Structure formats: structure tokens, C-alpha cells
Amino acid sequence: MDMLHSIVLYLDDPYLVARFQRFCGLSYNENSARLAPSSNMYSQSGLKNSSIVFRDEDDPWKVCHFDQNGAKVPDEDESSDKCIRRNVKAPKPSGVTETDAGDQVNLQNGGKPIKNTTSNPDEKKNELPYKIQYKSIYYLFSFGAALGDELFYTTFFPFILWNLDFFVSRKVVVMWWITLYLGQATKDIVKRPRPISPPVIKLEARYELEYGMPSTHAMVGTCIPFSMLYLFHQRYDFPFNIGLMLAIAWTTLISLSRIYLGMHSVLDIIVGVLYVCIILPLIYPYLQVLDHFSVTHPVAPFFTIGVPFLLCLLYPPVDKWNTARRDTTLLIGVGAGISVGSWLCYQHGFATSSYPIPVPLEIPSFTAVILCFIRLIIGVPIMLITAELLRLIIRNICKHIFGINIKDPKVKRMQIYELTDSFLPFLIVAINVTYGIPMIFSVLGIDRPSYYAELLPPASI
């Protein structure tokens, strides 16, 4: 048991993240100690509000401590002038004092001022606190992190719906939003902070207020590729080993990107991946039943909208507002909308005879590739314009009819506002993605012929 505890502590150690960042060429600048401290800062002993300092000399990843009064904590063999304070002012080296004007002078050198090495104050102000040695690694992991962001979902799910397989895509979306909700809700229940900075360099300030365990990027980055591999292999004939390698590469890239960007510990990543390994086998046996019900049953929208909406209302209360609940509400709205759009297609008689499986997977023709891009070029702007128009209408209704000040940050953080400003617009946008925009493609003659044939499963499944 002690060994397991030691392993957990090791995997959760922020210095493990920092060492990985240094290995990948990401390190602090020499003068980075002037940065504001992280809100998650705590000492190695785990006590909040204790002071943490760097040695900015031989090894900037080691730390020494000062108490709240600026006195050096005992049992440190290094002198305090080698340490750079992060959250309170560091004690001055011996013989240095400060004038009323705030200038530091050295009494041992005739009271001469200590010169500021920066001739232009704006240089230090605008200087990045970190340096990137290997730009290729930075761009690679930035791309990996983007595979778990909203912008990626905005283009990826419409792409696979319109261009690959409607039937498989619906199921992947269901797995995605369930996994995402469970991951985000678990974060706000467990309330484990992200790795402390320093020693970790955080490159995504947007997520800093969210909790860290489990990593939802790692969860989604495991759920999507392996769900696609499993479901596509049921319908298409392709080398499974190649698909497995691609899925592993996808998951690995996203997971390592979260460590490189300083947003998660290794433990957060491992817990996220293991969490998905539990969730997916529990849902897969019922996935076909859920999909068939949501597409064909006359009252399905009451459940496909009502259950996600209820889950949003039941989202765990947060001590301090962050973007997790809002983002989760938005993305769950997308999942509900895709189910409702599929239901509308079936109810209006668009379903055609399904084709036999497995289908040999062939390299698409040049014309098919061009049509894929045309569908994206036309469909994505329609989708984005719809979202902005709906949000504009909803915000004006809130402002002019109900007298709600939508510019008030407190109002924006209310759960009811998040539901109206995030869930409702993107519910309608997702309905448009699966129902309205494919009709436009049909009118323009750029539709995918098998789109409506994928509303229902083949008899052999």
C-alpha cells in the first residue's frame, strides 16, 4: 500500500511535468520570477500560502522556502540571494536596503544605487516568461491540444457526419458527450488542482481555473478514436492494425500535449484514460438500442433533449466559477441536437434502404475529395452564422423583454443563463447540422448519396 501511495505521489508531482517540459525544450526565462504567482501555489509540504522560490542558477527546478514575513525557512543550505521569490517579496541580500523612493542601494558600496539591467521597462513587461527551444515540438503539441477544443469539435463532427458515415458518427457523438459530461462533473466533485506554477509552465491560461483530475482532454482523446475504430470496423473492411495504431497515436498526442502545456499531471492523464476504459464497455452494449430509439421512436425528442437538459441542471455545484460547466452545457446541447436532427430526418421519410456490410474501404476519388471540402466550405459558415444569430436573438430577448443585464459577469455565470445562451443555441445548430444543412446540399447537388441510407442500421448488425 505504501508503494502504491508513493507511485501516486510521484505521478502527481509537478516536477515530473516540469522535467518533461524541459526535456521538450520548454523552460523559464532567467527573469521569469517577476511573474504573478499561480492561484494554486502550495509548498512541498502541501501547506497553502507558504512561500515558494526558485534557484535561478544551476537548477531552476529546485526550490527553497521563505515564510510570510520574508525570513528564510531553516534547513536550506543555499543563501537567500540565490533564490527568487514568487508570491511575496524576497529578502534582500546582505547590505542592501531600500530608499523611500523604492530604489535599492548597497550600503557596503557607498550607498550607490543598484542599477536596473533593463533600459526599457516595457521590454520586461512584454517579455514572455518562458522560452521555446524546439518550435516543432511546440507546434505538434499545440495541434494535439487543439484535438480536444471546441473549434475542433465544430469542424470534426460535421465533417464525419457529412462526409464519412452518418450512422457511426451519431454513436460517436453519444459516446463523446457522455464521456465529456462524466469527466467534467468528476473534476468538480474531486476538486484536484492543476499542477502548480512554478515549477510548471502553463501555456493555456483559459483552463487554469478548472480542476485537473481527470483530464477530460485525455478522456475525449481516448473515447473518440477508439469509438470510431470499433464502430467503423463493424461496417467497413480495413486493416484493423492500422486503425489501432492511429487511435493510439491520437490518444498519445493529446495526452502528452496536456503535460507539455502544463495543464495536467501525469496522474491526471492516467486517471482520465482509465476512466474511459471503464465508461466505454458499460455503454457499448446499449449503444445500438439508444440510437435506434432516438431515431425512430415518436416521442424520442422528449428524452434526447430532456435527459441532457436534466443532466445540465444536476451538474455538481462549483465553489468558484470556471468555464467547465458552461462548456459542458454547450457541448451536451450539440449532442442532443444531433439526435433530434436524426429523428427529424427519419420522421420526414428521408431514410432509404441501407447497404450491405462490411463495405470495402477504398481511396476516395478526386471528385469525392473536392465535394468534401465544398460541403465544409458551405456548411460550416452556415452553422457558425446560425449560432451567432441565435445567441444574438436570445441575448436581446433577455435584455429587452426580461430586463436582464447580459453584460454583468454575475449574470453570465448563472446556470439558467448558461442554459439559454449555450445549450439552446447549439441544440438548434446541431439540428441544423444533421437536418437542415444536408437538405441544402441535396438542393445544390453536392450531397453524399448514402447519407440518408445511414439513418438505420443494416439488418446484419
Which residues are known to be catalytic? 217, 264
Q: Residue 252: in which H helix or E strand, if any?
A: helix 240-260
Structural contact between residues 177 and 304, judged by C-beta atoms closer than 8 angstroms: no
Phi-psi region of 403 (alpha: psi -120 to 50; beta: other; left: phi over 0): left
Nearest Cα residue to 424 out of 324, 308, 344: 308
Which residue bears the cell 515558494?
52
Q: 313: how many CB neighbours lie within 10 A of its CB?
A: 11
Question: Distance between CA atoms of 201 and 295, rounded to whole angstroms?
Answer: 46
Question: Distance between CA atoms of 306 and 300, rounded to whole angstroms?
Answer: 10
Which residue bears the cell 497553502?
48
Angle at 4 between CA 3 and CA 7, to 5 degrees: 85
Structural contact between residues 255 and 218, judged by C-beta atoms closer than 8 angstroms: yes
Structural contact between residues 447 and 371, judged by C-beta atoms closer than 8 angstroms: no
- DSSP code, position 79: -
Cα-atom radius of gyration of the chain, to the nearest Å?
Answer: 27
Question: Distance between CA atoms of 444 and 433, rounded to whole angstroms?
Answer: 16
Ramachandran angles phi, psi of 9, nearest 5°: -60, -40
Strands 130-132, 26-28: parallel, antiparallel or unpaired by DSSP?
Answer: antiparallel
Nearest Cα residue to 42 out of 272, 242, 196: 196
Ramachandran angles phi, psi of 351, nearest 5°: -65, 135
Which spans in 24-134 are helix H?
A: 121-126
Which spans in 74-165 are helix H?
A: 121-126, 135-146, 150-163
Q: Edge-to-edge, what's the strand order for the sheet holding 104-106?
A: 96-98, 104-106, 112-113
Angle at 55 between CA 129 and CA 46, to 5 degrees: 90
Structural contact between residues 86 and 52, judged by C-beta atoms closer than 8 angstroms: yes
